[in-house]
């Protein structure tokens, strides 16, 4: 904290009065000190990609932000909710890798996976695939071992149960489902690792664009399930990544 | 239809003019004829209990209606949503049998079970028991073979699956669950008989007094599931009874 | 259950140790045994069509799935929620029969109708026709005798009542209505067979895209009514089909 | 308008300057003039009862207001939403007639009925009786011929249809129903007079305390139906009274 | 009712046995008699236009229905919710008069106005104009004297109050407003004639496409206000027409 | 009030009888007097722009209104919710200045800023910029000193806190945020000036088009926060302007 | 900020190393400095009462907090949402003044009123009185001139308009209304000062415990209206107080 | 799994035929094997308490279940949502330790804390204390190091920021808040560990019994936040416990 120490140095040297120093520190206490403290902690995690939320930004804006980010660090840059059209525009000037299903663009290469174990991504139906891919690519980009299994909705229970080994071995599970979202409850009842549930807007009528699945997951009869926003594959992967990298208090 | 034929007879005999007959028939066409047609059909099913919805009626009112019904037919009388207090009051003058869990009172004895097969009643948690009992007693009173299994929520999938034989053999299944209501989807995916789903108001917060379970059941990813109102154990049993007694078009 | 008996045989013969057998049985108990049991039951119903939910799938995807299904069995293949455009694309390579009003495509021919009796499909207004057609074609494809009557909304009660004979003779009734959905209550009060109510999204303002009709049907003052999701003609027909084919417990 | 004319008189006489008169008129233009205009119109209808909304007021407050009203006019005083307890307290000092079912108290006697014809009040179930009674007594107190028919819900269509004559002869109909509120649609389809629909909070689960009935009535497939708030028997009767007394533009 | 009388005649003449007549009458009692009764009542009001709800129908369908209706009676035909495009198509074969703002087409000419007095149509903002025009043209087509005043929202109270004479003289008032719908309460508090309130979907955010205006109108602090569905100008005019033509019980 | 004084003059002069004057004044008391009173008060604030809500009006309509307004006063004219297309059309005939981000057009130049102090406009994310710009330009056009700071959402608390000086010095703060709307609570807890919170429709899923932010702001744990409608940047600026110009009772 | 200056003093004196001082400042930068800054600003306003939200706290807890607050400053202590029972318990040990209607208790006496002008509190009905009293007492306790007018709902427009002078002279207006909340729109349209609208939970049915009034106020057709939470009389008064004391940026 | 191995042993020994063994295994394949597999995994974690959800169970029922659980294992038994009354009844026969604030009863003593680090429990207001205590005691009972900090709502940001060290050092954070739930967003923006957000039903009006806080937390602008049901302190602690004990895939 150069700035702070400089002030103290000046106080010590007598070149800055206590009143002036006091005023100067008081005026921006949150910022100059607090911000730095936070920032240092954040900055030290090398290799973690920067993330740009692509929806509602123009291709030009995304490109601009991406170039700034690339200049500042060696980390890959992840762009979520990126349409094919914008991706193609960006690809004219930047070496962007684009994954259409997950609507994700990546600048740079995926880091080596770290963390306690494997993140398992389960999705109930083929229509949930976009969200599952967003989660899978995000988890990879953040540096995790990832395994994804599709089409294991509870209406065909045997398909889900045939992957019981994978369920038992996962460190964290992301359970993605639309319609009535029952997958989260069934999985939560089978395993002992944390389950992050992602409701999707797949369905119609009384599904209410994912609200039914959301509420169903929140009221799950199984313990160990927490929930993120509708269609928020990125958020689930980010949370799973934090869990997979959880540290001890003194580590 | 004595009344109709009497009018026609009078017309034939000339004691009633065509104009008078026409007016008389036109005045109450829905009622005197239509009602009879409907009524006959209804009246012919002997032994089917009359049902009194007890909520919002005083003990005296219920007793009055029950006595009228008993006078008119030999059928048992079923009183649903009947509180202990009202039941005890009624028992002072009528030989009422009362089942506290299902909040049901019965005058007379259950009929011999008929119908195609067995109605299986599944309930997810012990808190869903009141609804399950209302369904069980209603189905019995309407003349069905009934089997009830409790506490088979999907968070403990093995408990449900240990009853797979019963599920496979049932003619109709009533699936009762609160919270996220996932039981209906899992059961619907396992069996090939009609499933009547009953959401219950068990739960809190995002359960919204059963609305989440209701919507989840309506958007079930499994086919063959239809739904009745929240906590409506009676309605589910009534529908299951109709299904269990479904007849051919010419029978 | 060959697999299970084979393991036991090997144990008996001493070619498989108890530990290995135990592990093998424990590892996939749900799948290898449970699944088979379910599957056999499902597989034995010949002629029942496979169903593809067409919404959210490309024409190519639908075509691919359809060809796989045709290879595996002689059953017809039913494609629901299929747009005209996709249908025309599929027709270039497959002999698809397409019904535009019900948005349904069929590969193969309808089976001979079986079941207890006739499924009667009532729809309230001409705008409910798409849902009614989805129900009618699904019921036909599943092997049922079907009768459909349109435009019998309760605002013109006499039109509905002029079909009283059909109502009385049906084994199951599907009542389809948007707006306030009163048709289900009126029909439920007239008949003694199970009524499956389908709310439609027809209406505006306080209809809330079918939610009002849905809730009205769930709170129907008539017994014997159960409900499926908004616009879910397929689901209603599937449930009606199961009811029309309901079997005894020992049959 | 004594006040206005007095000012003008003073202006004419020169005892009030134009400036002062202008200021005085400008200061309270809405009130002194506009109010009077409105008030005169209102005041001229003799015999119309004053109405006190009893809910949320103490017995003492109601009594106080009632006594003021009695002093000012000979009209009867109607107190709606009045509990038995408060009624009994008021009866200690005032000759209050109390009707428990409709929760209405009346000071003075009902006026002779006037108006075009008869207001017919239909209620679907016995649980809707409180609202029906509130409507009936209000309509009587406002000076109308009233006929009330109970328990004509659409699940027993024949009961409703047996009163077809009354329906056809009414000048205005108030249709009161809870649950799914289908009564309004069926009645609206049968008659050609205005129908005021009153949803009641009778029901449970997906009835949502009357909201389903409310929305169902608003989206009625029948024309000629308008709606008042849930349980608002008073409001329906008041509107029906206005309709029954509707006047020509120049009358 | 020729059919009924013919049967009775045959009975009288002995050419039809009582049994056959009874069967024939019983088979379709609702229809042939009940419908006729209703129909007669309806049919006798000459000049009342037939109404076609244009939304969700093709131009060809509308044209077909219109031509049938024109053949059957001399009454004008009103087509609501009719788009410019469809109107232009219909105009190729039928002499359709089209009003673009109210989205209404008319075949034939408006009848002479009848009824007790004048229907006054008030609309709060210029954006409510389409609904106001739908109401105005409907009321005219049904045979009423109509006066319409626009842009009298309560935020500019003086504009509304400057029309106090019109308000006082109206027999029925239709109050049309979006946003918070306060117009209905203010008007309801000023007048003594029935007010039909029409919420419109004008507004954004917490207006919820008219639901806020709808609920505000239902909970109006003024008596004498009843409400129709959001944007339902036709329904309000129809109800106002019935009120304007309300008859005595014996008239 | 020329009209009023003229009437009084005529009364004084005897050229108008008291009866005629009384009638004339009574006929339109609200309007001619009340309106004037309001109008005078409004009209005296020179330089305040007239505002046209552009959404739902054609370019021609906007142009017409603008030209009338320009003729009547020297004040600038502000057009909100104005699309680029309409702006370009209007620019063909009028010297319109258009700001695309805030969707605002201005005729004439901004007035000199007045008022107690500075209006500070904080927006949480870059996606809230359109609303922030609408607020900023409105506040400028109404004659206020304005400062705007973007992208100070609470997930990056240090960014917000680095502007603590600006927060402390503002006279009024407009806090604009979508998603969970937490900015209003955090800012409300830091400052002692009035905070006007504007929820935006930025977000997805459980954001419900701004309703979550709206409700969060209304239930803010900080005092001194009041709320306007979703995306209503204009309304917030208008309210902030009134606050910034608040006067004493006798001033 | 004694603590900060003490550290600087020690640095200057050399009794604290720069490293230690830096660490000490960095460890709690937000708190010890930032808080102080805020606190100073807050603390300087003498006489401003401390506020305790009484709901959900026991009488003992409230008493405890109150005694701490009294010890720390001479300011009065305001306790909101305080029940009669708790008030009486507290009065046993503390000289609490209790106002039952507004459910507010006060320790100490009201300060002299300051601020730009008068806060005018309008309430629509007598049932809104509790909220109005909470607002009135809060505004007084915070040091404002306050005027309160009750029972000026828009259904009796003349009552509101008779207070036009008070409306025109107010510096801030608090408009309190339940049911449909139209008061805010009408007042907002009449005045040019900021209006803080408070929806109340008064009403039933479609009022939805104040939500309808809340949404109506948010979508008000009048500018210059902002809204606080349902029944939040305290919040409105607090906001009005801030507005009434708004300062210039450099004052 | 003794049972399975016993069967295999008998098969090997020839005392059980393959047919009998096959039947026996097939009859309950899910249960005896599947359950065991799960159970083994579960059972191996010694000291983990069994949990009884106390709401909706009688004291006698809870006592019964508790005694069964105590017989089967040495683990402590945790009873959540336990009222004081029931606790006192249970204490008559069992050595129950009861914590009134968190409504939790414990049989047996807390295990030694294990896991990666510390679970930090933050609660926004004193009214959120019950939920915070439920979380704290659950986390302790499951074997975690726990630290709890109360009353750190965002309206007093400095209080939260003064605990920045604790926030930075936690392995998992549980953020508990009612009203607008902004705590989760602010904390999520400050830390890099997983945050489990718990909305509480604290608040009124637009808080909608916790729904606003719930939705706000789901739409948090900060990454790394997942959410459990309203007031679900137990569920948050359970999830935090799983995260704190997350294992590697091969560990």
DSSP classification of residue E29: I
Is E193 within 8 Å of D250 when comparing Cβ atoms?
no
pLDDT at H23: 64
Q: Please say if the pLDDT value at position C43 is more than 90.
A: no
DSSP-based three-state secondary structure for D230: coil
| Angle of CA points B141, B145, B149, to nearest 5° | 100
Beta strands in chain G (DSSP E): 50-53, 77-80, 97-99, 104-107, 114-123, 144-149, 172-177, 195-199, 225-227
**Residue E41: what pLDDT?**
34
DSSP-assigned letter for residue E197: E
Asked if the interface predicted TM-score (ipTM) of this complex is over 0.85, the answer is no
Tell me whether residues F34 and G161 touch, CB distance under 8 A: yes
CA distance C7 to chain H (A): 9
pLDDT in tens, E169-191: 999 999 999 999 999 999 999 88
Residues in chain G, how many? 251
- Torsion over CA: B183, B188, B194, B199 (sign): positive
Looking at the complex, report in whole angstroms how far the Cα of residue G228 sits from the nearest Cα belonging to chain H.
Answer: 9
User: pLDDT digits over B160-190, tens only?
Assistant: 888 888 998 999 999 999 999 999 999 999 8
pLDDT tens-place string over residues G107-153:
988 889 999 999 999 999 888 999 999 999 999 999 999 999 998 99
CB contact under 8 A, B30 and D202: no
User: Within 13 Å, how many C-alpha atoms sit on residue F10's CB side?
Assistant: 15
Domain residue extents for chain B: 35-108, 117-242
Q: Which stretch of B129-138, D188-197, G162-171, H97-106 has the lowest confidence by average pLDDT?
A: G162-171
- Determine phi and psi for D116, rounding to 5 degrees: -65, -45
Which chains share 3+ C-beta pairs under 8 angstroms with E? B, C, D, F, G
Per-residue pLDDT tens over the stretch H162-201: 788 899 899 999 999 999 999 999 999 989 899 999 999 9
Is G161 within 8 Å of D211 when comparing Cβ atoms? no
Radius of gyration (C-alpha) of chain D in whole angstroms:
22
Residue G247 pairs in a beta bridge with none
**Under a CB-based contact definition with an 8 Å cutoff, are residues A117 and A170 in contact?**
yes
B204 interface with H at CB cutoff 8 Å = yes
For residue C104, list its beta bridge partners: C99
Percentage of the residues of chain B whose pLDDT score is greater than 90: 53
CB of B161 less than 8 A from some CB of H = yes
Residue among B153, B213, B208 nearest B179 (CA): B213
Quote the CA–CA distance of D72 and D70 in Å, as a whole number. Answer: 5
The reported pLDDT for the residue numbered F25 is 64
Bridge partners (DSSP) listed for residue A172: A119
Please tell me the predicted confidence (pLDDT) of residue C31.
35
CA dist E186 → E131, G195, G203 (Å):
20, 19, 17
Q: Do B230 and D206 touch (CB under 8 A)?
A: yes
| pLDDT at residue C124 is higher than 90 | yes
Give residue-wise pLDDT tens across range B8-52: 888 888 888 877 776 666 544 333 333 333 333 333 344 567 788
Which positions 41-70 of G are in contact with H (Cβ < 8 Å)?
A: 56-57
CB contact E27 to C (< 8 Å): yes
Mutation to test the H interface, candidates A194, A199, A213, A220, most H Cβ within 10 Å: A194
CA–CA distance from H184 to each of A126, A249, F93 (Å)? 33, 20, 52
Please judge whether E34 and C161 are an interchain contact, meaning their C-beta atoms are less than 8 angstroms apart: yes
User: What distance in Å separates the CA atoms of residue G208 and residue A158, rounded to the nearest whole number?
Assistant: 45
pLDDT of residue E67: 86
Cite the beta strand spans of F150-204 per DSSP E: 172-177, 195-199
Q: Residue E55: its pLDDT value, please? A: 87
Which subunits count as partners of chain C given 3+ CB pairs below 8 Å? Answer: A, B, D, E, H
In sequence order, the β-bridge partners of residue H97 are H106
Taking 60 as the threshold, does the pLDDT of residue D152 lie above it?
A: yes
Residue H29: is its pLDDT beyond 80? Answer: no
Q: Do H38 and B158 touch (CB under 8 A)?
A: yes
For E196, the 3-state DSSP assignment is: strand
Q: Which residues of H touch B149 (CB under 8 A)?
A: none
Closest by Cα among G104, G44, G112 to G77? G104
State the smallest CA–CA distance between residue D140 and chain C in angstroms. 30
Do A and F touch, counting CB pairs below 8 Å (3 needed)? yes
Tell which wins on pLDDT, G132 or H9: G132
For residues F204 and H218, the answer to whether their CB atoms sit within 8 Å is: no
Chain B residues whose beta carbon lies within 8 Å of the beta carbon of residue H201: 205
Locate G64 and state its tokens.
Answer: 């405890």
Q: Whole-model pTM?
A: 0.86
Q: What's the CA gap between A85 and A62, in Å, rounded?
A: 13
Q: Between E23 and D76, name the one with better pLDDT.
A: D76
For residue E7, the distance in angstroms to the closest alpha carbon of chain B comes to 9
What distances in angstroms separate CA F120 from CA E57, E143, F136, G228, one per listed residue? 53, 58, 9, 20
- Say what the pLDDT of residue B247 is: 86
pLDDT tens digits along A131-151: 999 999 999 999 999 999 998
In the predicted model, what is the mean pLDDT of residues C23-50?
44
Quote the minimal CA–CA distance from A114 to chain F in Å: 26
Is the pLDDT at E131 greater than 50? The verdict is: yes
| For range C185-204, the mean pLDDT | 93
Query: D34, G127: Cβ pair inside 8 Å?
Result: no
pLDDT at residue number B44: 39
Q: What is the distance between the alpha carbons of residues A58 and D78, in angstroms, rounded to a whole number?
A: 66
Closest in B158, B202, B205 to H210, CB measured:
B205
Count CB-CB contacts under 10 A for residue H19: 10
Task: Show Cβ contacts of residue A35 under 8 Å, excluding neighbours closer than 6 positions.
Answer: F158, F161, F162
Q: Give the span between the Cα atoms of B149 and B135, in whole angstroms.
A: 12
Percent of chain C surpassing pLDDT 90: 53
Q: Which residue has the higher pLDDT, A83 or B14?
A: A83
Question: Which residue in chain H is spatially nearest to A223 when comparing CA positions?
Answer: H235
- Which contacts of B235-238 are long-range, i.e. CB under 8 A and separated by 24 or more positions? B235/B198, B235/C223, B235/C225, B235/C226, B236/B135, B236/B174, B236/B176, B236/B196, B236/B197, B236/B198, B236/C226, B237/B119, B237/B121, B237/B134, B237/B135, B237/B136, B237/B138, B237/B139, B237/B142, B237/B174, B238/B138, B238/B142, B238/C223, B238/C224
Q: Do chains B and F touch (3 or more CB pairs under 8 A)?
A: no
Residue D250 pLDDT class (50, 70, 90 cuts): low
| Residues E63-67: contacts with CB under 8 Å, at least 24 apart | E63/E89, E63/E90, E63/E93, E63/E94, E66/E90, E66/E94, E66/E107, E67/E94
How far does D169 lie from chain C, in Å, by closest CA? 19
Contacts of A44 (CB under 8 A, 6+ apart): none
Please, is B155 exposed, middle or buried when counting C-beta atoms within 10 Å of its C-beta (0-12, 13-18, 19+)? buried
Chain H residues with beta carbon closer than 8 angstroms to that of C11: 8, 11-12
B contact chains, 3+ CB pairs < 8 A: A, C, D, E, H
pLDDT of residue G35: 31
Instruction: Give the 3-state DSSP-derived string for chain B, with helices as H, strands as E and coil as C.
Output: CHHHHHHHHHHHHCCCCHHHHHHHHHHCHHHHHHHHHHHHHHHCCCCCCEEEECCCCCHHHHHHHHHHHHHHCCCCEEEECCCHHHHHHHHCCCCCEEECCCCEEEECCCCCCEEEEEEEEEECCHHHHHHHHHHHHHHHHCCEEEEEECCCCHHHHHHHHCCHHHHHHCCEEEEEECCCCHHHHHHHHHCCCCEEEEECCCCCHHHHHHHHHHHHHHCCCCCCEEECCCCCHHHHHHHHHHHHCCCCCCC
The count of other CB atoms within 10 Å of the CB of residue F109 is 9
| H171 contacts A246? CB cut-off 8 A | yes
The second-level CATH assignment, the architecture, of C117-242 is 3-Layer(aba) Sandwich (3.40)
Nearest to C231 by CA among C247, C211, C246: C211
> What tokens appear for A89 in the block?
């525009």
pLDDT at A37: 34
Tell whether the model's pLDDT for residue A46 goes beyond 50: no
What are the residue ranges in chain F where pLDDT is below 70?
Answer: 1-4, 22-48, 72-73, 249-251
Of A199, A200, A197, the C-alpha closest to A127 is A200
- CA–CA dist E164, F31 (Å, integer): 10
Q: Which residue of C has its CA nearest to H39?
A: C26
Half-sphere exposure of G55 (CA within 13 A, CB side): 8
Counting DSSP H helices and E strands in chain H, the numbers are 11, 9
Set of chain B residues whose Cβ sits within 8 Å of the Cβ of C37 = 164, 168
Write the DSSP assignment of E117-146 as a string of letters: EEEEEEESSGGGHHHHHHHHHHHHHTTEEE
Least confident of C123-137, C233-247, E53-67, E222-236: E53-67
Average pLDDT over residues D50-54: 85
Residue H194 is predicted with a pLDDT of: 97
A138 lies within 8 A of chain F by CB: no
Burial of H83 (0-12, 13-18, 19+ CB in 10 A): middle
Chain B partners within 8 Å of C250 (Cβ): 117, 169
Q: How far is E196 from chain D (nearest CA, A)?
A: 8
Q: How many whole angstroms separate alpha carbon G54 and alpha carbon G31? A: 27
Task: Confirm or reject contact between H246 and chain A (CB < 8 A).
Answer: yes
User: CA triplet C97, C99, C104: central angle to 5 degrees?
Assistant: 85
Q: Do F56 and E206 touch (CB under 8 A)?
A: no
Q: How confident is the model at residue H12 (pLDDT cuts 50, 70, 90)?
A: confident
pLDDT band, residue E3 (cuts 50/70/90): low
The mean pLDDT of G225-230, rounded to a whole number, is: 96
What is residue A92's predicted lDDT score, i.e. its pLDDT? 95
Percentage, residues of chain D above pLDDT 90: 53
pLDDT in the model for residue E94: 93
Q: Is residue D42 packed enough to be buried (19+ CB in 10 Å), middle (13-18) or exposed (0-12)?
A: exposed
D neighbour chains, 3+ CB pairs within 8 Å: B, C, E, F, G
pLDDT of residue E61: 85
Q: Hey, are the CB atoms on D35 and G164 less than 8 Å from each other?
A: no
Q: What is the dihedral of CA E135, E136, E139, E144, to 10 degrees?
A: 150
Note the pLDDT tens digit of each residue in C87-104: 999 999 999 999 999 999
pLDDT (mean) for H207-236: 94
In this structure, are residues D242 and E191 in contact, taking their beta carbons and an 8 Å threshold?
no
């Amino acid at each position: 904290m150069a700035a702070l120490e400089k002030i103290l140095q000046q106080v010590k040297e007598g070149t800055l009065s206590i009143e002036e120093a006091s005023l100067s520190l008081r005026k921006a206490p949150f910022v100059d000190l607090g911000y730095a403290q936070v920032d240092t902690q954040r900055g030290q995690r090398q290799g973690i990609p920067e993330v740009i939320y692509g929806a509602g930004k123009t291709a030009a804006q995304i490109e601009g932000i991406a170039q700034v980010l690339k200049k500042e660090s060696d980390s890959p840059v992840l762009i979520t909710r990126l349409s094919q059209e914008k991706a193609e525009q960006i690809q004219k000037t930047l070496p962007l890798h684009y994954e259409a299903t997950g609507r994700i663009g990546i600048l740079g290469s995926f880091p080596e996976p770290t963390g306690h174990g494997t993140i398992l991504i389960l999705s109930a139906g083929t229509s949930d695939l976009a969200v599952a891919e967003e989660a899978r690519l995000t988890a990879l980009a953040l540096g995790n071992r990832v395994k994804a299994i599709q089409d294991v909705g509870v209406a065909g229970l045997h398909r889900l149960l045939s992957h019981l080994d994978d369920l038992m071995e996962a460190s964290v599970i992301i359970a993605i489902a639309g319609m009535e979202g029952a997958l989260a409850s069934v999985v939560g009842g089978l395993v002992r690792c944390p389950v992050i549930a992602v409701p999707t807007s797949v369905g119609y009528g009384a599904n209410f664009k994912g609200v039914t699945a959301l509420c169903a997951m929140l009221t799950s009869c199984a313990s160990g399930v927490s929930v993120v926003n509708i269609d928020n594959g990125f958020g689930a992967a980010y949370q799973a990544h934090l869990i997979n990298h959880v540290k001890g208090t003194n580590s």
